[in-house]
Structure 1
């Protein structure tokens, strides 16, 4: 078999269908440690740096087993192709390299339908390279999106393929961990950009402010989108209740954790606000389906590989957190799980507020890597490893 190029969506398919292959990551050890490809199922992965193949070719090739197909990943497509050519010279036959390099994995969005029994389509767009989720709500010929990533072409193509028009793009909050796509989507399509004034009021974005309890309908009836104010992670954090059944929670609560109230440098004040928000969330119906903005790892996915759980399940997963009955103990919990936020977050906030611009290369660099938005003992443990 000749060397071939594969797209990120094929890599996701191989991982989620348990295909037997070796993933050879040829980035340097520092970049590999910072950001690795993850899967819901175990798979074989090996890190041998591209420069090792250049400098000690025979020794590096000998580290790669020949008993299964090899799929190569690097920061850049050409580097992975170069390694594939070296391995072919050493007798390897089934070799593929990732199209677009690691950034194509970081930008990949996987649409999953969450509402097969409804007369509308609610999609979760899983971003496995970021451990994050955005959402799309389609009814007849109209589409609303929630927390879109900077991969605007995906959402535009999705709308075109599904014969609908993007009419609204909502932000749950001013993001710090990835570059949001609402401003660009609004500029390209004329869709209304909506967010809370507490987060976006000081930005240079052209947006419509949203208020708690407001209802946003489609043109021809359909499901209603209800604004549910959930501050604490940020002052303007907002969630959305879809058709009374789905709760797009943003960074207020996740499936196995809750959002961090310390990213803005005001942990004492924001912790108190988040405590009150969690009390309010707790009063929602236990049957409502929580749709988080992030996940810690694939253990949070259900059997369909979607990140969705009933509020009852979320409260049970986080029972120690939801059991805290006073602000002082809640603040103690938060502070015991605090860790430094990535230095890139400050710059990403400026970009999302449209207060700074960077070129595409810098944007890709900032946007790559897993989120660190959860406040839990588990997350802190992972960060310290």
Structure 2
């Protein structure tokens, strides 16, 4: 019996390299339809585990014999049992280590490019959740933007590079995932920045991140320029790094724009969203490379695994940037919204410091797809 294991890192490489993979997902149908592992060349079969308790005979003719089969469940246990049954039928079968919980938490650091003065910019791709965070490195210092709660991945890269974290930023108060910003700042002694208009109810101290702030990283010419860009939240703030990169937070994505309703103020904030995208961003260089805080679809990944595009390209191709009539924009933005993220109110309260769920509770709160964009 030849049962093998595949890690979230292994699957991520297959996604980025557009490799073939057949996934047998043994979660409930509703869970599968709401959120699954996505790959451009992946094929799927969803059969709930309870339908396979008496054996896999009824599905063997639905599985390929010419490619690997990856069995996936929520936490791992069920997939191991199904994989063992398939191995007895001589399939090339793997199970996903840690299940969908591990998939939700995996971060893949991808180098975006070099900066002036010898610095580097990294994008951390949370492949299973669609979250994107960033690290700027220069002259033995690092700044981290929009970190997730899986802070070990950032600490690991910092240690590998031999640099010290000096600044941590959140572009806004997140509602779809728990920020690791404060924890990283506590551990490293870094300064933690948050837009004050998003921080009226927080229970902790922070540096006020406002439009016009300039923060230098290391002793080089690299700087982070903050650009106030409300709409997703009232405090949402973008960053221009090295006059080359635009970190757009949750205002602008590659294939969509940010939703304004996660604090219950869609009607109030839609005008801010339009002004940020149609006025403030129009004043910027179209050569800036947009690096968002989320991606919606796996097709948004570039060949190298990054999620990035020139601002001029998005002005030409992103439908959300090409709605001339203001009333039509308002209608689309307020009526074409996906379901709100799971436990988003609890996630906001966690990011405010009002509640302190344990690790397992945090995992449960974050399970599910990214839902930060207008459809």
Q: 2:15 maps to what in 1?
A: 15
Counterparts of 2:328 and 2:12, CA distance in 1: 41
Q: 2:110 maps to what in 1?
A: 112
Secondary structure of residue in 2 paired with 1:259: coil
Query: Aligned in 2, Cα 1:84/1:323: closer, same or farther, shift over 3 Å?
Result: closer
TM-score (norm 2): 0.93
Cα offset, 1:342, TM superposition? 3.4
Q: 1:68 maps to what in 2?
A: 67
* Aligned-CA RMSD value: 1.9
Cα offset, 1:117, TM superposition? 6.5
Q: 1:59 maps to what in 2?
A: 58
State how 1:300-319 maps to structure 2 within 5 Å.
300-318=300-318
Range with greater deviation from structure 2 (316-325 or 47-56):
316-325
Q: Is the Cα contact below 8 Å between 1:183 and 1:205 reproduced in 2?
A: no
Counterparts of 2:349 and 2:149, CA distance in 1: 15
State how 1:164-175 maps to structure 2 within 5 Å.
164-175=163-174
Q: 1:220 maps to what in 2?
A: 219
TM-score (norm 1): 0.91
Query: Aligned in 2, Cα 1:18/1:226: closer, same or farther, shift over 3 Å?
Result: closer
Q: 1:101 maps to what in 2?
A: 99
- Unaligned runs of 5+ residues in structure 2 are none
Query: Aligned in 2, Cα 1:126/1:320: closer, same or farther, shift over 3 Å?
Result: closer
Q: Is the Cα contact below 8 Å between 2:342 and 2:367 reproduced in 1?
A: no
Counterparts of 2:25 and 2:205, CA distance in 1: 41
Q: 1:296 maps to what in 2?
A: 296
Q: 1:42 maps to what in 2?
A: 41
Cα offset, 1:189, TM superposition? 1.9
Cα offset, 1:116, TM superposition? 3.8
Counterparts of 2:55 and 2:75, CA distance in 1: 20
Q: 1:382 maps to what in 2?
A: none
State how 1:153-172 maps to structure 2 within 5 Å.
153-172=152-171
Counterparts of 1:20 and 1:261, CA distance in 2: 37
Query: Aligned in 2, Cα 1:318/1:103: closer, same or farther, shift over 3 Å?
Result: same
Range with greater deviation from structure 2 (249-258 or 9-18):
9-18
Q: 1:362 maps to what in 2?
A: 361
Q: 1:331 maps to what in 2?
A: 330
Counterparts of 1:62 and 1:318, CA distance in 2: 42
State how 1:248-327 maps to structure 2 within 5 Å.
248-278=247-277, 279-318=279-318, 321-324=321-324, 326=326
Matched positions, count: 373
Does structure 1 residue 33 correspond to structure 2 residue 56? no
Q: Is the Cα contact below 8 Å between 2:255 and 2:319 reproduced in 1?
A: no
Q: 1:383 maps to what in 2?
A: none
Counterparts of 1:117 and 1:353, CA distance in 2: 33
Range with greater deviation from structure 2 (199-208 or 189-198):
199-208
Q: Is the Cα contact below 8 Å between 1:120 and 1:222 reproduced in 2?
A: no
Counterparts of 2:320 and 2:22, CA distance in 1: 40
Query: Aligned in 2, Cα 1:8/1:340: closer, same or farther, shift over 3 Å?
Result: closer
Secondary structure of residue in 2 paired with 1:114: strand
Range with greater deviation from structure 2 (218-227 or 113-122):
113-122
Q: Is the Cα contact below 8 Å between 1:77 and 1:97 reproduced in 2?
A: yes
Q: 2:351 maps to what in 1?
A: 352
Counterparts of 1:267 and 1:199, CA distance in 2: 15
Q: Is the Cα contact below 8 Å between 1:139 and 1:222 reproduced in 2?
A: no
Query: Aligned in 2, Cα 1:57/1:257: closer, same or farther, shift over 3 Å?
Result: closer
- Unaligned runs of 5+ residues in structure 1 are 380-385
Counterparts of 1:28 and 1:336, CA distance in 2: 29
Q: Deviations over 1:64-119 (max 9, x none)?
A: 33332222211122222111111122333x22211111111111111111114742
